[in-house]
Amino acid sequence: MADREKAQDIVNAAMKTRSALTDLDHAIQGEIDEIVLTAARERRALSDDDKARRKALRADQVEIQDAFKVLAFVTLPRLDASADVAELKNKLDSVKDELDDDINRLKNIARYAKIAAKVADGLTQLAIKVTGAV
Amino acid sequence: MIDSLKFLRAASFALFLGALSGCSATDHTAAVTTFAEATAAAETALVGLNQTVTKQYEAYLEQQARTDPGLAVKAGQNECELGSTRCRVVIVDPTAEDGEQPFPPEPLLNNMVAVMGDIRAYAQKLAALLANGSAAKAEADVNAALGNIESLADTLAKADGKGTSTIPNFTTPVGAAVNWLVGQYANHVKLEGLKSATRHADPTIQRAVELFAVASVFGSDPQRSDLTEDFRNKIIAFQDDRASRSNLTAAVDAAATYDRFLVSVPSAIFTKMGEAHAALTEALNNPDFSLPEMFRKIKAFAAEAEKLSKTVNDLATLTGDR
């Protein structure tokens, strides 16, 4: 477990990259929107030049979207194999054992109560004898 | 005899503590049961996320295998040979140090799903501890034993020619006392068990919740990317043909699908699970904590679990990822 990565380190690095990708995607979408808004301001359809610029920007966006996916595919197995996940599993197993002990203690109640009833039985028989003797 | 004395001593002590706290384990039954049920739903959501993201990873690897000439697709190292013990396909990036991926890939979140399974099992054990009927069984055993005593006393009285026995007046209070002690002791074991288990589990559950929340963000990112792409393609199709009603409808539908995904906020279920468990722990261990407040948080978690479980399934079906 010593050479396993810490989840926090994995998350910090991945979140930083994710944030950079979403910022870039947003910036490109701003440029695409500006092409559409400019045409609307000029009350005209998109020109071939507009479409060509948008196509180039969309290609960049698709690359970013792919990188966004790859980041997830790389991050998830690292997180899943992190030292933290293994440690959490061990700790939860120990709490579950503790609860099993409690449930077993309750099961023993029935046994102890039976014995307690036998004590009462003994006392009663003693009382019978005493009553009989009086 | 020693066991029974131990039991009576423990039960008397429990009675003393119970009298001090005035708290019954049954006060928490509804909260613990709801928490356990919602945890099972949260597990279903994480399992669904694992299946969906793994399916998308498989589709991504398949595309890479078919289109990237820089990747080799072959049998795994020492596999699929005459002397092999395994045979699997791998995709290899010869330029990367750790560039070998089995195809189809292993599920991406198996260990986290196992941790979530442990949390579900833990929650079910909390509920099982509360629902444990050993005290009732013990009461039945005691009553049966004392019933035998009454019968024995009657037999003896008849043998003595005294008609009816004077014993039942004596045994009934004894039985009641034993049963009462059993009930108090069972309540004590249940309450202390719940307090201790929740106190010990809470830091672990809070850490697990943080991890699951992050995993659900990254786990849903491929779907986020696909839904964004689908919307963008459809809105562009309409922008290029403003007269097309069907293109507008397609863009609006794609936006609605993506919007449903966005407002479902997959990580919320795990955050709410953490809040619910923290409230349960607090309510059990701090007598001043409000029980209605605890129950409100647990119900919020249960509602989120139900909502997300449905959304994850619906979206997976819509996007064909399961």
Take residue B58 and report the two structure tokens written for it: 């498989």
CA distance B304 to chain A (A): 23
User: Total domain count for chain B?
Assistant: 1
- Chain-chain contact of A73 with B186 (C-beta, under 8 angstroms): no
- Chain-chain contact of B142 with A116 (C-beta, under 8 angstroms): yes
Q: How far is A121 from A103, CA to CA, in rounded Å?
A: 28
Answer yes or no: is B144 within a domain.
no
Q: Which residue has the higher pLDDT, A115 or B272?
A: B272
Q: Is the pLDDT of residue B15 over 50?
A: no
What ipTM was estimated for this complex?
0.82
Q: HSE (CB half, 13 Å, CA atoms) of A43?
A: 0
- A22 CB neighbour count, 10 Å cutoff: 14
| Residue with token string 């037999």 | B155
Residue A82, SS3?
coil
Answer yes or no: is B306 within a domain.
yes
Answer yes or no: is B150 within a domain.
no
CA distance A77 to chain B (A): 5
Q: In this complex, which of B114, B160, B201 lies closest to A132 when CB atoms are compared?
A: B160
Residue ranges making up the domain that contains B118:
2-60+107-132+172-318
Answer yes or no: is B260 within a domain.
yes
Q: How far is B30 from B130, CA to CA, in rounded Å?
A: 10
Touching check for A40 and chain B: CB below 8 Å? no
Query: In which band, very low, low, confident or very high, does the pLDDT at B168 lie, cut at 50, 70 and 90?
Result: very low
pLDDT the model gives residue B227: 95
| Residue in chain B lying closest to A120 (CA) | B174
Query: In which band, very low, low, confident or very high, does the pLDDT at A30 lie, cut at 50, 70 and 90?
Result: very high
Answer yes or no: is B162 within a domain.
no
Answer yes or no: is B38 within a domain.
yes
Which residues in chain B have their CB less than 8 angstroms from residue A125's CB? Answer: 149, 152
Q: How far is A128 from B62, CA to CA, in rounded Å?
A: 86
Q: In this complex, which of A7, A102, A128 lies closest to B189 when CB atoms are compared?
A: A102
Across A54-62, average pLDDT:
97
Q: What is the pLDDT of residues A17-27, one digit of tens each?
A: 999 999 999 99
Which site among A6, A51, A102 would you substitute to test the B interface, given the most B Cβ atoms closer than 10 Å to its Cβ? A102
Answer yes or no: is B87 within a domain.
no
Q: Which ranges in chain A belong to alpha helices (H)?
A: 7-41, 48-80, 83-133
Q: Is the pLDDT of residue B306 over 90?
A: no
Using H for helix, E for strand and C for coil, what is the string for chain B? CHHHHHHHHHHHHHHHHHHHHCCCHHHHHHHHHHHHHHHHHHHHHHHHHHHHHHHHHHHHHHHHHHHCCCCEEEECCCCCCCCCCCCCEEEECCCCCCCEEEECCCCCCHHHHHHHHHHHHHHHHHHHHHHCCHHHHHHHHHHHHHHHHHHHHHHHHHHCCCCCCCCHHHHHHHHHHHHHHHHHHHHHHHHHHHHHHHHHHHHHHHHHHHHHHHHHHHHHHHHHHHHHHHHHHHHHHHHHCCCCHHHHHHHHHHHHHHHHHHHHCCHHHHHHHHHHHHHHHHHHHCCCCCHHHHHHHHHHHHHHHHHHHHHHHHHHHHCCCC
- Give φ, ψ of B92 to 5 degrees: -115, 130
Q: In this complex, which of B56, B129, B148 lies closest to A102 when CB atoms are compared?
A: B129
Residue A84, SS3?
helix
Query: In which band, very low, low, confident or very high, does the pLDDT at A4 lie, cut at 50, 70 and 90?
Result: confident
Report the amino acid identity of residue B104. Answer: P
Does residue B80 contact residue B14 with C-beta atoms inside 8 Å? no
- Chain-chain contact of B60 with A99 (C-beta, under 8 angstroms): no
Q: How far is B53 from B51, CA to CA, in rounded Å?
A: 6
| Residue in chain B lying closest to A12 (CA) | B214
Q: Is the dihedral of CA B251, B253, B255, B258 positive or negative?
A: negative
Q: How far is B287 from A52, CA to CA, in rounded Å?
A: 68
pLDDT the model gives residue B17: 47
Q: In this complex, which of A98, A121, A131 lies closest to B196 when CB atoms are compared?
A: A98
Q: What is the pLDDT of residues B208-249, one digit of tens each?
A: 999 999 999 999 999 999 999 999 999 999 999 999 999 999
Q: What is the pLDDT of residues B47-66, one digit of tens each?
A: 989 999 999 999 999 999 99
CA-angle at B17, arms to B14 and B18, nearest 5°? 80
Q: In this complex, which of B7, B181, B222 lies closest to A72 when CB atoms are compared?
A: B222
Q: Which residue has the higher pLDDT, B9 or A98?
A: A98
Q: How far is A8 from B109, CA to CA, in rounded Å?
A: 17
- Give φ, ψ of A66 to 5 degrees: -65, -45
Q: How far is B24 from B27, CA to CA, in rounded Å?
A: 6
- Is the bond preceding residue B102 a cis peptide, omega within 30 degrees? no
DSSP letter, residue A45: P
Does residue B186 contact residue B20 with C-beta atoms inside 8 Å? no
Q: How far is B244 from B249, CA to CA, in rounded Å?
A: 9
In terms of Cα–Cα distance, which of B132, B49, B14 is closest to B309?
B49
Which site among B68, B214, B229 would you substitute to test the A interface, given the most A Cβ atoms closer than 10 Å to its Cβ? B214
